[in-house]
Structure 1
């Protein structure tokens, strides 16, 4: 394939990922040029971390704007963290938060695998889902507030890198576990079909620049700790999905992203505390 054709295919697959995972408009003539098929959606999975570039950048912008317009008080970092979190939830349509809530409802609602899967299909949120969602949002806002209080640069570096890296780990879930959702009704099913090593490599490549920028801004130790925290969160989620469900659903992928994002913030915060 010619370089121009490869670049065009790369961009089209990336825009499919943006269209699927965010609310950003890919419409009109642009949508007609991009096109859509299950095969394209499957290929777009490699660009999931690339979507994190957009979401993380928007989070940084929201955090910066609120920090600038509010007076410099002890509560300003927390308000800025709320704004950044609200911005990312709006951009993604709370897609991943919804997955976290559904997974918590299913696993918390029943020890039986089949019953847990049935609960996860229910669009209504239950007590376990509500608790998981509230605790995750509180933890996210609290950790970002801690990072900003310790070092505003750390908050920006962590926001950008965490949103990218946390979207890489679901690719490994897809690669290593079986999809167990309803094949006919699952939006995530095309993503689960034979994701290649090449796609995983593309996803990893998307992580290089944000991590390099974060290291230049904040130093190696905090960012390395963030990656380690995110990796540990992935290993925990992988074991949970494998042990309780013997595979993954779209909700499991969304929950993995959320938990790994929190793991990144926690790792950075721990490194700053140790320093």
Structure 2
């Protein structure tokens, strides 16, 4: 339960009190991160699906589904994405780039990145809701799981923290690689299984979405480790949004 509390208490604004803040709790929390993503994704899909089923239109449903995770995290991951973009876009050495990321304002790279990512998410969900409320709701749920799976994979041992303090340092390197990949395999199988009722094509598409999201986050993670010397809380946020967006894009391909 300490792991579940850690996952929901740090990754959402749901009223869950984190009772332990040590490496053991952080490890368990990162292993349970996809569950927090599933809850947020189901909430997003429920609202978007309801609006779509009630005839509000695919675009409004897509906007609502995009808004729910942002509200239930107080924009935590979107803020991390913007700060990471500013740090990477600055072209500065690691120490200076990390200082830029700690500032409270958002620079031009962050603004443009946020705009493009949110537009991509809304565009894909609009397409999926246009195919039916269930398609859109399932897409939102898969994106939620995949986004938080990226955090589990980024917290594995061998990935250093860029700073000695902060959330990034608290969770970096806490998860044994075998456990991280095991959770990844479970998420892949669970998401793919959600398409069994629609045939082999849906199974492959949903599985590919998880793999595509994880791959997109892996590319960003490698670049951030090379540029910053490790991960930070902002980088974790950037990884989550990157993975969720990449998963949605894969879901839209060929539809």
TM-score (norm 2): 0.89
Distance 1:68 1:36, change over 3 A: same
> 2:180 — aligned with what?
200
Cα deviation code 1:130-181 (max 9, x no counterpart): 1111111111101111122234433222211121122112222222421112
Q: Which of 112, 119, 124 does residue 143 from structure 1 map onto? A: 124
Q: How far did 1:107 drift?
A: 1.1
Does the CA-based 8 Å contact 2:83-2:234 persist in structure 1?
Answer: yes
Cα deviation code 1:44-66 (max 9, x no counterpart): 11111110111011011110222
Cα deviation code 1:99-139 (max 9, x no counterpart): 10000111112342221111011111111111111111111
Question: SS of the residue aligned with 2:230?
Answer: coil
Cα deviation code 1:200-256 (max 9, x no counterpart): 156336624344224435722321331232133123213321332232111111101
Q: Based on CA coordinates, which of the two structures has the bigger radius of gyration?
A: 1
Matched, 1:238 2:221: yes
Distance 2:185 2:215 in 1: 20
Distance 2:148 2:254 in 1: 22
Does the CA-based 8 Å contact 1:47-1:202 persist in structure 2?
Answer: no
Distance 2:176 2:73 in 1: 25
Matched, 1:174 2:164: no
> 2:167 — aligned with what?
187
Matched, 1:38 2:22: yes
Distance 2:214 2:5 in 1: 27
Does the CA-based 8 Å contact 2:30-2:151 persist in structure 1?
Answer: no
* Range with bigger deviation, 62-71 or 255-264: 62-71
Q: CA RMSD in A?
A: 2.1
Cα deviation code 1:27-59 (max 9, x no counterpart): xxxx4xx62232323421111111011101101
Q: Which of 102, 112, 124 does residue 121 from structure 1 map onto? A: 102
Number of equivalenced pairs: 250
Distance 2:197 2:67 in 1: 27
Does the CA-based 8 Å contact 1:230-1:262 persist in structure 2?
Answer: yes
- Unpaired runs of 5+ in structure 1? 1-10
> 2:46 — aligned with what?
61
Q: How far did 1:94 drift?
A: 1.1
Distance 1:57 1:265 in 2: 15
Distance 1:37 1:22, change over 3 A: same
Distance 1:224 1:137, change over 3 A: same
Matched ranges for 1:80-95 at <5 A: 80-95=61-76
* Range with bigger deviation, 193-202 or 148-157: 193-202
Distance 1:267 1:134 in 2: 19
